[in-house]
Amino acid sequence: MDDAAEVGEAIDKVGERLDKVVAERFQLSRRLAREAIQRGRVDVAGEPCLDPARPVEPGEEIAHHPNRPRPEILERRLTILYEDDDVLIIDKPAGLLTQPTQDRESDTLLERAGRYLRRKRGVKHPYVGIVHRLDQQTTGAILVVTSPRALRPFQAIFRDHAASRTQLAVVEGIFLTPEGTIDLPLTGDAEEGDRRTAPMTHYRVVESYGRAASLVSLRPEPGRPLQARGHMAAIGHPVVGDAIPVPGRRGRAKSPITFPRPALHAASLGFTHPLSKKPVHVESPMPADIAALVEELKQKHGVEPISPDSARDA
């Protein structure tokens, strides 16, 4: 959180450069004023301004936040949904890899978790272990272990699909029934003829937007792997923004709904803690970009809520 800002009086001169005004108002050199602006520490009329040459208009209030973190540092912070001595559950943003690939990316969930633990616990080389993953563009709840003793027990939970996981997705089209189960083996999910480890996805329609799209809640059958994207595509309702092939739709027509990533969010995660034996359940709020997509669909197509009662009666 920022320290108290230094707030200047309303500007009464016309068209002076912002860096000049900041230097004069807060007793800084022009160089330090310019750096403060470029680092996001100066607000004009209540909003950060990064342009030192911006003309300042009469009546605009200037504020200097000398201890405000730089924007790129704020972007790399983590939102923690749950924490104990053995695990972190993190609200992963879109675009962040869980761990580095062979290209050795420096900014990953693994790196951010280590940096958080160094700052929070004062450990120079904190332990961080990955036990499951989310796709790079998928948002939501993801767990990492922070002690060696927790690695194998939590690996077992996710290997055996013993954690309860729910995803929210905006998918193309509307459904004839408000809820159902998809029991389709996908390529590579199970040996031919063996359905015991094949994915099974339960879906529930939350809202429909005209005939264009639906917001659905997806959860795997306990003990089965999570393959929501593949199952949605397999039944002709691909996740909006997903390039996954749709069976039977060669040369798949481009969706009229544009979105820069798969509109898929890991909304909740629950399990019995294998060390403390206590139940843990966390929920991740819908990210801003998917929320904006949903609002746009409502405005364009209207909304038909699907109540839990109607789903049970169907």
Catalytic residues: 135
- Specify the amino acid at residue 176: L
Taking alpha carbons only, the member of 265, 314, 305, 260 closest to residue 286 is: 265
Other beta carbons within 10 Å of 160: 10
State the Cα–Cα distance between residues 282 and 272, nearest whole angstrom. Answer: 12
Contacts of 3 (CB under 8 A, 6+ apart): 65, 66, 67, 68
Q: How far apart are CA 163 and CA 178, in angstroms?
A: 25
The number of beta carbons lying within 10 Å of the beta carbon of residue 78 is: 16
Maximum alpha-carbon separation in the chain: 79
Beta carbons of 132 and 160 less than 8 angstroms apart: no
Q: Which residue has the tokens 């009662």?
A: 309
Rounded to whole angstroms, the Cα distance separating 187 from 224 reads 15
Distance of CA 310 to the CA centre of its chain: 30
Which residue type sits at 22?
V
